[in-house]
Chains A and B, each alone.
Chain A
């Protein structure tokens, strides 16, 4: 019940009641956007990715932070693969995690 699904806001259907359409995996769903609205007009959330819980968008997903996490994890993966390769080549090598 606490699991949210990511979706992209595609349309505002009723600004007065804070309702809009969110595309969740290709399915359009009516979602309440009150909790992800900014100070400006509600239209501003169109295009943003949000987490949807029980019919409400409860938070925005920050694309830059998401990309930064993935990049850091890819680098970590490469570093780990490299360390294993080095260790395989030279059993004496017992370095620290970079």
Chain B
């Protein structure tokens, strides 16, 4: 596939690995966080951790939308799915995430709830048009990448004056989560890891551009390199980070120049700004309640807001007591440091969200482990 295969080229990767090996200094270590779950998945899938120098560590970040969705909102979605008038539509990733009582949307569907797995928000809109007698709710999650499509269907619903379509909006904002990671204390319960650099997300950055990352080098002295999704992109970004650290520089750099600009996609930004406004605060699994970190529909679109249409008082759900997702999402614990990892919790029997989504750190660690121990295992988690 064009614009994919070139960036999986073995010769290019080898050249980059040699360059990284030469660039790293023996007298220090390097700890970089890949913010985005897509990068976490790619690093595991392509075995990148195995080929990096010993003193260079990649720490997984919280950039997995399903993983950071707190239990209370998940339980609310589950309750909505059980409403006989409702057709609940959502992305595949959310279907298998266990709620407070281990219940999932897949289970609810098997029990008769009208839950639909969709590829695009356009599918949810189509369902609403085709079934005027049903209340079609789109359970929207994701960072800035999936937000403009949600905005587009809300506008379309307004234009078509659809009375039976609404959005349960859980869209969250990348820069605030990055800030939370960088501001985490060094010690204690809520501690974060020591970081020498951040690999910035690929497709979030196509939308927001690289400018929103500028405060991070300035305020926290941590370099940010926005990287594409392929292994060559990731290695290239790691090399750029190593060089910044060695030169004592902290800047925002862009490895993914073929798709990302400093200012981002203005059309998509305008669409988001028209439909959404910032929530005062929002709860994230693992990161706690962060101000200004999520979106809701503007008053103009209030009639498409599921939180206003339905009674959705939060049940304040609780994570499984043994699940260490929160610490994993903060980059504090490695997935295998969770007592349940691989024993009780596997992709087939997930206990926490981080094991469900292919972008989750636990699912990535499992995939990487099973691949490196027995290379013949078919890929359980595959991405196009």
Contact = CB atoms under 8 A, between A and B. Distances in A.
Interface of A: 1-6, 8, 17, 25, 32, 34-37, 49, 51, 53-56, 58-63, 65-66, 68-70, 73-74, 76-81, 83-84, 97
Given A2-B143, A51-B203, A68-B257, A76 B15 contact: yes
B217 to A, nearest CB: 22
Nearest to A34: B152
A81 to B, nearest CB: 7
A6 B384 CA distance: 10
Q: Which of A8, A61, A77, A97 has the most CB of B within 10 A?
A: A77
Contacts of A73: 12, 15-16, 232, 236
A78 B120 contact: no
Contact of A2 (B152, B201, B232): B201
Interface of B: 1-4, 6, 11-12, 14-16, 18-19, 22-23, 36-38, 63, 65-66, 91, 93, 119-123, 141-143, 145-146, 148-149, 152, 156, 201-204, 206-207, 229, 232, 236, 255, 257-260, 265, 267-268, 271, 357, 359, 383-384
Contacts of A62: 257-259
Closest 6 CB pairs of A and B: A77-B15, A55-B120, A59-B206, A66-B258, A80-B18, A6-B3
Contacts of A59: 203, 206-207, 259-260, 265
Given A2-B145, A32-B152, A61-B3, A69 B265 contact: no
Nearest to B159: A17
B272 to A, nearest CB: 10
A78 B236 CA distance: 15
Chain A binding surface SS class = mixed
Contacts of B142: 1-2
B206 A51 contact: yes
A78 B15 contact: yes
B93 A66 contact: no
A10 B37 CA distance: 31
A55 B18 contact: no
Residue among A25, A66, A74 with max Cβ neighbours from chain B (10 Å): A66
A58 B145 contact: yes
A3 B91 contact: no
Contacts of B19: 76, 80, 97
A17 to B, nearest CB: 8
